[in-house]
Amino acid sequence: MEEYVIDANGMEEKELNRTIKEQAKYHDKLIIDNPDSKHNICAGLTEDVEIEIKGSAGYFVGTMAHGPRIHITGNAGWFAGDNMTEGELVIEGTAGDGAGQGIYGGTVIVKGNVGSRTGEIMKGGTVIIGGNSGFMTGLLMMGGKLIILGDVTEDVGESIMRGTIFVL
């Protein structure tokens, strides 16, 4: 497996994403050092590539991704995995509001707690939360599986149309 290391220190978000998309064409695995909670990391990535983000990511990490396997060793901001269609996003820490919002396919795993609106308007795929999820978890779900291993608020599944929500 050919790896390529990208040092994100001092890079603008657009430059980082351009570099990720370009290098993903030629390498099996990309390692992102010093992500410094930058937003939109791996946004729109469509390559079948493994990504390791060493640290925390900001808002919209893995948004609109189709195919990559993204592993974050830290935390993630709001809307992690937003509108993902295929692939995997694993967050070792916590995530903000909207984790797995609107996903069509793939898997989002957050090992810690998440904020509100987890799995909101998801259409397919699977979202697994290792801890607690905030208010309006599963709001307007249209499909998929939402698995919460901690607690949720009483408004879980508000206006759900389809899909399944499991709460430990």
Query: What domain range includes position 17?
Result: 3-167
What pLDDT score was predicted for residue 1? 65
CATH code where residue 102 lies = 2.160.20.60
Q: Is the dihedral of CA 134, 135, 138, 141 positive or negative?
A: negative
- For 33-73, write each residue's pLDDT tens digit: 999 999 999 999 999 999 999 999 999 999 999 999 999 99
**Domains of the chain: total:** 1
Mean pLDDT of 120-131: 98
What's the pTM? 0.96
Nearest in space to 45 (alpha carbons), one of 68, 76, 27: 68
Look at residue 30 and tell me whether its pLDDT is greater than 90: yes
Look at residue 133 and tell me whether its pLDDT is greater than 70: yes
Terminal CA-CA length for the chain: 38
Q: Mean pLDDT for the chain? A: 97
E strand map for 19-159: 29-33, 50-54, 66-72, 86-91, 107-110, 126-129, 142-148
